[in-house]
Structure 1
Amino acid sequence: MWHGELVAIHIAEKGRAPMQPLEQATLIAGVGIEGDRYATGRGHYSDFPDIREITLIEEETLIALARDHETSLSTDEHRRNLTTRGVPLNHLVGRRFRVGETMLEGGRLNTPCRYLDLVTGKSVNDLLIHRSGLNARIVEGGVIRPGDRISPA
């Protein structure tokens, strides 16, 4: 059985706004992260129906970009809310898992798009195919912090 860790938390108050790091975040079931663009309906993709209460990406993806493609993408650039370590995100579609005291359910794999290239000024879209993270819903809310354990529910 796997166990991982929450590396970083980021939110943006609206689409294209810079991602802001948080030392802790309040997750609201059925809504999103308190203060985040998708919880308030101010995200770039808010008008498109989807499971997007919270988004996650693997730190291992960022390491592979740097190692294999000499392209850096920092935790405040990738536009996902949570950066994880040791978590098999691609295998969590339709599955519940815990992040600290909260429970999430994987919705769908995140599809990379040219919007990320536009916002970052880097050509990462094609490099993130099948590694762009996970969109999830918040089943049980609560407070999370970097360093929290991530595990199957």
Structure 2
Amino acid sequence: MLAPAAEAPAHEVGRALAVPGRGLEGDRYAEGSGTFASGRPGSALTLVDADVLDELGAARGAPVDHRRNVVVRGADLNAMVGHAFAIGEVVCRGSRLCEPCAHLERLNAGGVLRPLVHRGGLRADIVAGGTLHVGDKVVARS
């Protein structure tokens, strides 16, 4: 998912170019116009678990505006903090958990902050760029 500017609607894309040290081409953080400071470690890419979004969406009765770049299924994102992994051809390094914030809570009219604590996803750096595609698998690297 890409959003061209802070608070702009995020839209799904079938593929995105991942640029080391910047982020996803066309996204607010790669352009330096995100809500939070761009260029810091862990600001290039954000991931979230689809199962968490499904569970929270069902409980709320509405989808979650998660604002994460990549939605994955079947990967333990919390375990990737401090570790290298690949998404298709793109090599990343997990930086820290992507905890929910007051901004995300506002965008969803409440109800997401507590349920997403320690389940809000992962912030990562792009080590080796390339093109991400919908359906790419996440694979741990040593």
TM over 0.5: yes
d(CA) in 2 for partners of 1:92, 1:124:
23
Matched to 1:84, the amino acid is V
Q: CA RMSD in A?
A: 1.6
The reply on whether 1:24 has 2:12 as its aligned counterpart is no
d(CA) in 1 for partners of 2:84, 2:124:
9
Of 120, 127, 131, which residue of structure 2 is paired with 1:139?
Answer: 127
The reply on whether 1:45 has 2:57 as its aligned counterpart is no
Aligned length: 141
Farther-moved stretch of structure 1 (99-108 vs 49-58): 49-58
What does residue 49 of structure 2 align with? Answer: 58
- Gapped regions of structure 1 (runs ≥ 5): 1-9
- After TM superposition, give the deviation of residue 118 of structure 1 in Å: 1.2
- After TM superposition, give the deviation of residue 64 of structure 1 in Å: 2.1
Could you tell me the percent identity over the aligned residues? 35
What does residue 72 of structure 2 align with? Answer: 84
What does residue 84 of structure 2 align with? Answer: 96
d(CA) in 1 for partners of 2:39, 2:22:
15
d(CA) in 2 for partners of 1:47, 1:93:
19
- After TM superposition, give the deviation of residue 63 of structure 1 in Å: 2.0
- After TM superposition, give the deviation of residue 48 of structure 1 in Å: 8.7
d(CA) in 2 for partners of 1:47, 1:60:
28
- After TM superposition, give the deviation of residue 121 of structure 1 in Å: 2.0
d(CA) in 1 for partners of 2:38, 2:46:
16
Of 35, 44, 60, which residue of structure 2 is paired with 1:70?
Answer: 60
- Gapped regions of structure 2 (runs ≥ 5): none
Compared CA separation, residues 47 and 146, structure 1 to 2 (3 A): closer
| Bigger relative CO (Cα 8 Å, ≥ 6 apart) | 1
Contact 1:62 1:72 in 2 (8 A): no
Q: TM-score, normalised by structure 1?
A: 0.86
Q: TM-score, normalised by structure 2?
A: 0.92
